[in-house]
């Protein structure tokens, strides 16, 4: 089952789901940068970058200590990564909700930002998507108010220790314009544009009343997830040249220890037990919705309590299988959506609370970037040994 990421459904007031205007590309004049201040938990004075949309504020706060290297036979920690595709705040309060959930339970998360969420629809002609008309997008452009809320939440998320990755831009999953058919050069163009929308939001929006994003995106961006989990093979050569560290675009992964693909850590969505283990489903909210309401975002309300329970139980079963056996990192993908009455958001919150329970020792809820740090610090022979453990195969070393 392919992952689907949504914003044709999200924020219906935020613009057409697939804008198809054709016009030349031009740049707008830069507005005066807003106030730039030093950030709590960082060192030195903030240094504006470019038009002041971003600023270097020092080392990111609230990061884990330097990773310790496992000894041969030592039981590894149980890593869990919660990630969010799109990462736009459209007035439903889900971005701040899960920042608060993360804070309450000691979790770091990865937010895969869609670059178009910082580009006003009035400036959509600045976007030149590969194999698609200028300004086209399969997801809606956000309103000015929603762009501002997204910026505020991105800024706060980074200062709280979370990672800002990329979900690229126009989310093209079907037809000849699909990301499935893009070349490495076209992926490079898409990435460059995504970075431009993030680093030039002040120029493109004209907003002067917001603080800059407190990081250098050219250094912060080290990984992403492609729309609908398509196009990874041609993305990876470009990602490697750009110095990225990982990619989270593989579908149908298993709960085993990750390996590298074309030089990058490969972090796939994983098949986890569903409906008591009678089925396996990819570890993402959309895939639960598809199996429960057949691609409808508003199934029968009478089914919501049961479906919510099913989703939470599946996430927890995936965690339990890894935690009690091979300790493979668990990867969970989400969208800031209220599908089927918001039951998948409730299921995620319940899962975070369950994982954070004090009886689960040596569990670390981290970002993909933080997981890369830990993996890169390990003895390759020790990692190879862990990769030899199959799904549900018991770790037998010391622990």
At 74-109, the pLDDT tens digits run 999 999 999 999 999 999 999 999 999 999 999 999
Nearest to residue 226, comparing CAs of 81, 112, 366? 112
Q: What does the pLDDT read at residue 399?
A: 57
Q: Where are the domains of the chain?
A: 70-387
Q: What is the pTM of this model?
A: 0.90
Tokens matching residue 172: 């093209």
Strand partners, 132: none
Asked if residues 383 and 374 have their Cβ atoms less than 8 Å apart, the reply is no
pLDDT in tens, 13-25: 222 222 222 222 2
Structure token pair of residue 101: 């959930």
Provide the pLDDT for residue 24. Answer: 28
Q: 70-387 adopts what CATH topology? A: TIM Barrel (3.20.20)
Please give the pLDDT value at position 22.
Answer: 24
Low-confidence ranges of the chain (pLDDT < 70): 1-44, 398-399
Q: Decide: 20 and 11 in contact? Cβ < 8 Å.
A: no
Q: What pLDDT does residue 28 have?
A: 30
pLDDT at 275: 93
């Amino acid at each position: 089952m392919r992952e689907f990421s949504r914003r044709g459904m999200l924020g219906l007031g935020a613009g057409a789901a697939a804008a198809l205007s054709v016009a030349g590309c031009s740049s707008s004049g830069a507005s005066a940068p807003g106030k730039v201040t030093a950030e709590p938990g960082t060192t030195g004075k903030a240094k504006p970058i470019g038009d002041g949309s971003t600023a270097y504020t020092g080392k990111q706060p609230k990061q884990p200590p330097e990773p310790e290297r496992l000894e041969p036979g030592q039981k590894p920690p149980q890593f869990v990564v919660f990630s969010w595709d799109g990462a736009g705040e459209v007035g439903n309060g889900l971005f701040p909700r899960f920042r608060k959930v993360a804070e309450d339970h000691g979790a770091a998360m990865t937010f895969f930002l869609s670059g178009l969420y910082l580009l006003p629809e009035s400036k959509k002609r600045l976007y030149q998507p590969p194999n698609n008309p200028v300004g086209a997008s399969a997801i809606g452009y956000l309103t000015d108010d929603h762009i501002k809320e997204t910026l505020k939440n991105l800024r706060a998320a980074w200062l709280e220790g979370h990672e800002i990755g990329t979900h690229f831009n126009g989310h093209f999953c079907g037809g000849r314009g699909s990301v499935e058919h893009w070349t490495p050069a076209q992926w490079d163009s898409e990435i460059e544009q995504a970075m431009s929308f993030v680093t030039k939001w002040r120029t493109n929006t004209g907003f002067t009343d917001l603080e800059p994003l407190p990081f250098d995106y050219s250094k912060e961006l080290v990984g992403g997830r492609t729309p609908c989990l398509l196009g990874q093979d041609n993305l990876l050569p470009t990602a490697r040249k750009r110095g990225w560290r990982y990619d989270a675009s593989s579908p149908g992964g298993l709960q085993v220890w990750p390996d590298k693909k074309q030089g990058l850590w490969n972090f796939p969505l994983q098949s986890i037990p569903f409906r008591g283990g009678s089925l396996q489903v990819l570890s993402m909210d959309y895939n639960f919705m598809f199996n429960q309401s057949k691609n409808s975002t508003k199934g029968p309300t009478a089914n919501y309590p049961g479906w919510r329970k099913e989703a939470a139980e599946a996430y927890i079963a995936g965690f339990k299988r890894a935690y009690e056996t091979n300790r493979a990192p668990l990867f969970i993908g989400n969208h800031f959506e209220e599908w089927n009455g918001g039951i998948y958001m409730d299921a995620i919150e319940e899962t975070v609370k369950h994982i954070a329970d004090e009886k689960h020792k040596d569990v670390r809820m981290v970002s993909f970037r933080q997981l890369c740090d830990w993996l890169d610090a390990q003895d390759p022979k020790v990692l190879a040994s862990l990769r030899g453990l199959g799904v549900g195969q018991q770790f037998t070393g010391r622990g």
